[in-house]
Amino acid sequence: MHSERASWGLKLAAWGGLVFLHFPILIIFIYAFNTEQSAFSFPPQGFTLHWFSVAFGRVDVLESIKLSLQIACLATLIAMVLGTLAAAALYRRDFFGKEGVSLMLILPIALPGIVTGLALLTAFKALGIEPGIFTIVVGHATFCVVIVYNNVIARFRRTSHSLIEASMDLGADGWQTFRYIILPNLGSALLAGGMLAFALSFDEIIVTTFTAGHERTLPLWLLNQLSRPRDVPVTNVVAMLVMLVTMLPILGAYYLTKGGESVAGSGGK
């Protein structure tokens, strides 16, 4: 009886934590459909889709969405290539400085965004590179590489090396082994890492603030909207879009990797 009460208490605490974390997001979702233009009318006065047509009819919103998608795609592509190569180089071989290299790869995601952004801005200025799309992509790729690297090296460690040895023994060259053995085992980890990297890049604001120059991504557009209370309904709609675009890839990545222990050749019984 006591353990049953404790179990219910833990469940209530867990649900209470979830409600506490997601209640502000729920408010944004509700007010995106509110008929009133005021941000402070409570309860909401009605239901409307009018603000969606207003938001997607604005050129500044569409340009910011297009820019954020472009940057997120480029940063994700770079991260998938560099993260996969780094994982392949580090997962099997021991060499002097390996732990230091691993630390340097992971460090960008652990550092505060303001430190990373300031360091990137200083480096770009020293090299004579003006802030713009290129600098934003490079800045986003610095922490997106970590996400892909962590996913891929975890999958490498769960994949038996005997599969690769068997492929080579049967006459496959390096490319054939990569295509038919390694890549299928890495597929879901790569996809999950790419989805997480895309989500992180799409809503990144701190590093972007230092590297954007005159460009305005969607998160920067939202930040600028805080000084325009008359546009609050449109801001709520765009904020809801950002949350959906970032939450869905994260959920997808979770479902792709939660069964990772059953990877072929991992030795699971």
pLDDT digits (tens, 9 = 90+) for 115-154: 889 999 999 999 999 889 999 999 999 989 999 998 888 8
CB atoms under 10 Å from CB of 48, counted, come to 15
CA dist 202 and 196 (Å) reads: 10
Contact 116, 143 (CB under 8 A): yes
Is the preceding peptide bond at 219 cis, omega within 30 degrees of 0?
no
Burial class (CB in 10 A: 0-12, 13-18, 19+), 79: buried
Res 169 pLDDT > 80: no
Long-range CB contact pairs, 51-54, < 8 A, 24+: 51/233, 51/234, 51/236, 51/237, 52/237, 54/233, 54/234, 54/237
Please give the single-letter amino acid code of residue 218. L
CA dist 234 and 162 (Å) reads: 56
The 10s digit of each residue's pLDDT in 46-85 is 777 888 888 888 898 899 999 999 999 999 999 999 998 8
Phi and psi, residue 205, nearest 5°: -125, -35
Contact 209, 4 (CB under 8 A): no
pLDDT band at residue 40 under the 50/70/90 scheme: low
> What pTM did the predictor assign?
0.80
Mean pLDDT of the chain: 81
pLDDT band at residue 42 under the 50/70/90 scheme: low
The 10s digit of each residue's pLDDT in 250-264 is 787 777 766 554 444
CA dist 254 and 191 (Å) reads: 11
The 10s digit of each residue's pLDDT in 173-227 is 777 777 777 777 777 888 888 888 998 898 888 999 999 888 889 889 888 887 7
Percent of the chain with pLDDT over 70: 89
Res 1 pLDDT > 70: no
